[in-house]
Structure 1
Amino acid sequence: MSQRTVITFGTFDVFHVGHVRILERAAALGDRLVVGVSADALNIRKKGRAPVFTQEERIEIVSAMRVVDEVFVEESLELKGEYITKFGADVLAMGDDWKGRFDEFASLCEVVYFPRTPSVSTTALIEHIATSS
């Protein structure tokens, strides 16, 4: 039986329980979990600000998770199909805040969207920390 590879992507900035849960749920879908951590430059283009933690720090944090087998830098949202092919992914797992956005990859692999962890948002956490200081 061949190994089932799951791929997911994210910024994983200000790492929290929602990140832990999505990585654990993604890992449960297969035998190997590959994670694309968004490059600093990608985050600046996507969100208009740099992440709190650097790309290298975020890679180190995600790599430390026992359920994660491999981590790489996601340079561009437009390369998702190439990443799926490169890593031989059988499943693309994403949070449901992206629901429908990656259905185009259903011809390459199974696409699964997980419900977000209620009341946990990186943006809200950053705003809370900023206003509390």
Structure 2
Amino acid sequence: MKKTVLTFGTFDVFHVGHLRILQRASELGERLIVGISTDHLNIQKKGRPPVYHQDERMEIVAALKCVDGVFFEESLELKPQYIREHQADVLVMGDDWQGKFDEFGDLCKVVYLPRTPAISTTEVIEKIRD
């Protein structure tokens, strides 16, 4: 059976940091499934809507060679359900979340990957505003 890797993110204003973490996540298994945060969830998490609509963000991520499937993440509390539904063997998150998902270690392996230095969506948006 193929090893399934699961990760989550907003993937707004897509940049090379997004691409690199998805590529590295895909190397940990044979199948990469990505949960795209809905617009509503993003507003709850960050207090603002994403620049790009959830359908556009999903289309961008789904088009990547390293991604095998996408779905909408509607709630942070549903992560255990998503892990089970997608039969994830590995949960990958950026290291800015270090330790925050260790509780799911009984469902799958949890891996935190280093973020690409000196780039974030927030920084890109601020640069554009300036």
- TM-score when normalising by structure 1: 0.97
| Deviations, residues 103-124 of structure 1 (Å, cap 9, x unaligned) | 0000000000001100011101
TM-superposed CA distance for 1:86, in Å, is: 0.3
Counterpart position of 2:89: 90
Structure 1 vs Structure 2: percent identity of aligned residues? Answer: 65
Q: Supply the RMSD in Å over aligned alpha carbons.
A: 0.4
| Deviations, residues 68-126 of structure 1 (Å, cap 9, x unaligned) | 00000000011001000000000000100000010000000000000110001110110
| Off by >2 Å, runs of 4+ in structure 1 | none
Is residue 68 of structure 2 the alignment partner of residue 63 of structure 1? no
Counterpart position of 1:42: 41
Is residue 88 of structure 2 the alignment partner of residue 100 of structure 1? no
Counterpart position of 1:114: 113
Counterpart position of 1:30: 29
Gaps of at least 5 residues in structure 2 are: none
Gaps of at least 5 residues in structure 1 are: none
Give the distance between the partners of 1:44 and 1:93, measured in 2 at CA: 22
Paired letter, 1:64 = A
Paired letter, 1:10 = G
Give the distance between the partners of 1:103 and 1:41, measured in 2 at CA: 25
Counterpart position of 1:6: 5
SS of 2:25's equivalent?
Answer: helix
TM-superposed CA distance for 1:18, in Å, is: 0.4
Give the distance between the partners of 1:22 and 1:115, measured in 2 at CA: 8
Counterpart position of 2:126: 127
Give the distance between the partners of 1:59 and 1:13, measured in 2 at CA: 10
TM-superposed CA distance for 1:45, in Å, is: 0.6
Counterpart position of 1:51: 50
- TM-score when normalising by structure 2: 0.99
Count of residues in correspondence between the two structures: 130
Counterpart position of 1:21: 20
